[in-house]
Amino acid sequence: MALTRRRMHGLTPTQVFDVLRDGKSYEHWVVGTRAIRDVDPGWPAEGTRLHYTVGYAPLRKDDVTTCRSYQPDVRLDLEARAWPAGTASIVLRCDPGQDGVLVSIDEKPMRGPAKVLHNPAADLLIKLRNVETLRRLEQQARRH
């Protein structure tokens, strides 16, 4: 399990979730996402999907992330596909505080080889990527 947190001073859960509700914004703040090709109508309602591209030719891959559950301004639970590696559970959460919001990403492999090969070194790499992802998410929330 790779849990990463960031305190975002001066922001509210609504400001952060305004970015999360904008499916097209993910290409700007999710590290590794090159482009969002399409966003299902109603995103982020349960069952809706983001269609994304990672990498560059010849290592380009098109895939999807599906919303498993959504609590407005509180929690977004996603399943990201990254075949052939498998899928990952990604839970984004906002907890309000006196001077801002604490945003967390909890990411862990769910299926496929990534789950079988899961180890502390993989968690460290995920955590490092998500530190930057949260930094970018904060920038987007301040601009949005």
Encoding tokens for residue 124? Answer: 């460290």
**1 pLDDT higher than 70:** no
Q: Where are the domains of the chain?
A: 2-143
The larger pLDDT score, comparing residue 3 to residue 60, is at 3
What is the residue-averaged pLDDT of the chain? Answer: 93
Q: What is the pLDDT of residues 79-129, one digit of tens each?
A: 999 777 789 999 999 999 889 999 999 999 888 877 777 778 888 888 999
Percent of the chain with pLDDT over 90: 74
Task: Look up the CATH number of domain 2-143.
Answer: 3.30.530.20
Q: What is the pLDDT of residues 45-62, one digit of tens each?
A: 999 999 999 887 788 889
